[in-house]
Structure 1
Amino acid sequence: MKTLNVIKYVFAIVGAAMLVGAFALYTNTTSFLERSETAQGTVVELIRSRSSDSTSYFPVVQFRAAGGREIEFQSNSGSNPPSYNRGEQVTVFYEPANPEDAMIDGFFSLWGAALIIGGIGSVFGLIGVGIIAFGVMKSRSKAYLQKNGVQIHASLQGVEQNTSLTVNGRNPFRIVCQWQHPQTRELHVFRSDNLWFDPTDHVDQEKVPVLVDEGNLKKYWVDTSFLPKLAG
């Protein structure tokens, strides 16, 4: 399905971009701390900011920079409940050449943005890379079985929907067949790769070809080449 192919690359690209952004934020903060000075400040106000589904409180801090200049700034980091109280004393990092560029000395204030963006980016990246890696492994397994596998003919059991996978509100279909090992008498159930159309009307044979690894029957590929191709 083209949508799934697009999704995996979008997730991988978005994840990579967010990780790059998180690293840039980390580098910028590290550089800022290296060239900054510290001062004691006081939380003078908490600015409430509302979004569609949440409320955050951003502290406003006053401090005196070197030379006696009074500076007031609003932190870029907000939370609910508030991380600070009015009148609370805090340590402030600021740039001597531009004291308005200041940050509260707190883990989340300094590193929160990089941590959040990096965490979300990692999730997106892992999903995208995971889907891509799974597809590559499936393709390699299929190629190996086409070259080295043994073909058997399993009895058709029917067509099922794979409810564990949903894309755009749709579940793919799989052909289900089974085969009894002539020596061990064990019954093996095989399922085809996901199909994004219902193949029921196109499966009229009693037997379905399956390529298996004789040394490990859990490695198999149901040959669906007899089905019509889904138009792109």
Structure 2
Amino acid sequence: MGIFRYIVPFILVCIGTVLLAKGYQDWQVSRALVDSSVVAEGTIVRNAPYLSSKAGKASSLMYFPEVKFSTRDGQPVQFVSTITSRADHYKPGDKVKVYYKADNPRDALIGSFGHLWSVALIFALSGLMVTAFAAWFFWKARVGWEKADRT
């Protein structure tokens, strides 16, 4: 019976480890992108509306910022961000930092904290919380085991 107390913390540690690893992997991808990309100044052209819907929930209106910028050699590029935002976050005419690959400028990314690091941060914090809960759960199981052995 006592061994079953440790199964839940073990599973939680495994889940926490996977989340932490995913957070680290996403951080590495963003860091590599920043290190290997060309930086340009872009301008928000418009916010392309997107109606998101989830099963059983009301639809919500989100926006994909559309950005234009020029590459180092003067080639004009326009792209739609793959990350949604609220309508009031970016306004047409706002200047933003853009990261792009010299060999594929259409595959660009807005250089904000949210666009670069938020996914990594969400996974890492989730992993830390699950791992902390697992440690607490393990501690409670161990304290309970020791009390049972004393009686």
Same fold (TM over 0.5): yes
- Where in structure 1 do 4 or more consecutive aligned residues deviate above 4 Å? 1-7
How many pairs are equivalent?
145
Deviation of residue 81 (structure 1)?
4.7
Whole-Å separation in 2 of the counterparts to 1:41 and 1:86: 11
TM-score, length-scaled by structure 1: 0.54
| Secondary structure, aligned partner of 2:93 | coil
Equivalent residues of 2:5, 2:141 under 8 A apart: no
Asked if 1:102 corresponds to 2:108, the answer is: yes
Q: Do the aligned partners of residues 63 and 103 (structure 1) sit closer, same or farther apart at CA in structure 2, a change above 3 Å counting?
A: same
Matched, 1:57 2:63: yes
Q: Give how far 1:125 is off.
A: 2.3
> C-alpha displacement at 1:39, in angstroms?
0.9
Percent of aligned positions with the same letter in both sequences? Answer: 25
Residue pairs, 1:139-154, within 5 angstroms: 139-143=145-149, 145=150
Q: 1:132 to 1:38 in 2, by over 3 A?
A: same
Pick the structure with greater CA Rg: 1
TM-score by length of 2: 0.79
Cα RMSD over matched residues? Answer: 2.6
The secondary structure found in structure 1 opposite 2:120 is helix
- Which whole-Å CA distance do the structure 2 matches of 1:44 and 1:3 have between them? 58
Aligned partner of residue 80 in structure 1, secondary structure: coil
> Which is helix-richer, 1 or 2?
2
Higher relative contact order (CA 8 A, sep 6+): 2
Q: Deviation string for 1:144-181 (max 9, x for gaps)?
A: x2xxxxxxxxxxxxxxxxxxxxxxxxxxxxxxxxxxxx
Letter in 2 for 1:134: K
Deviation string 1:115-155 (CA, Å, 9 cap, x unpaired) is 12222222222223321232123223433x2xxxxxxxxxx
In proportion to residue count, which structure has more strand?
1
The answer for unaligned runs of 5 or more in structure 1 is 146-210, 212-232
Contact 1:58–1:82 (CA under 8 A) maintained in structure 2 = no
